[in-house]
């Protein structure tokens, strides 16, 4: 077995020691972390009556929607909210949240939807089997630094 050196994998392994951290771990984002981002973007995200407000409830014209194919993440400054790109539209994002042993929850809508139909706060688990390939889905990595 050949061990590759350099590149993103090695950089991620060396990041903690090079920057004085105890440890650095990464994983797919959890659903609760996605909700925390929505709450941070819009403190009124979840009201007591369950209504959603602002960007998180209607991302029309605030995300890469209504297109025929995905785009490179971060390709349009207009789709960044608080310096986080493509929370709405472009591709659904896999999360660690599972609905059962065969499906995972995806968040944020995709380029083929509309921003009112499936905004940044969108949560879906229908046909979300992580072992299948799909052009409508991607992922966002969460980085934990200690």
CA angle, 141 then 27 then 77, to 5°: 5
| Position 2 in a domain | no
Per-residue pLDDT of the chain (146 residues; tens, 9 = 90+): 444 556 666 776 777 788 888 877 888 888 899 989 988 888 877 765 656 667 888 888 888 999 999 988 888 888 888 888 888 989 998 888 888 777 888 999 899 989 888 999 998 886 667 677 778 888 887 777 77
Are the CB atoms for 45 and 39 separated by under 8 Å? yes
Are the CB atoms for 37 and 95 separated by under 8 Å? no
Q: Which domain covers residue 89, as residue numbers?
A: 29-138
Are the CB atoms for 138 and 104 separated by under 8 Å? no
| Position 49 in a domain | yes
pTM, 2 dp: 0.75
CATH assignment at residue 55 = 3.90.1580.10
Q: Give me the number of domains the chain comprises.
A: 1
CA angle, 40 then 46 then 52, to 5°: 100
| Position 24 in a domain | no
| Position 9 in a domain | no
């Amino acid at each position: 077995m050949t061990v590759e050196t350099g590149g993103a994998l090695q950089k991620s392994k060396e990041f903690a020691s090079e920057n004085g951290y105890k440890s650095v771990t990464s994983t797919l984002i959890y659903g609760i972390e996605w909700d925390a981002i929505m709450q941070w973007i819009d403190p009124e995200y979840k009201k007591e009556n369950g209504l959603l407000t602002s960007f998180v409830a209607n991302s029309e014209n605030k995300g890469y929607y209504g297109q025929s194919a995905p785009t490179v993440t971060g390709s349009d400054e207009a789709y960044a909210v608080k310096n986080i790109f493509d929370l709405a539209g472009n591709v659904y994002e896999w999360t660690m949240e599972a609905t059962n042993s065969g499906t995972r929850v995806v968040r944020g809508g995709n380029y083929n939807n509309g921003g009112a139909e499936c905004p940044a706060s969108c949560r879906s688990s229908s046909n979300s089997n992580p072992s299948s390939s799909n052009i409508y889905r991607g992922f966002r990595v969460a980085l934990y630094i200690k």
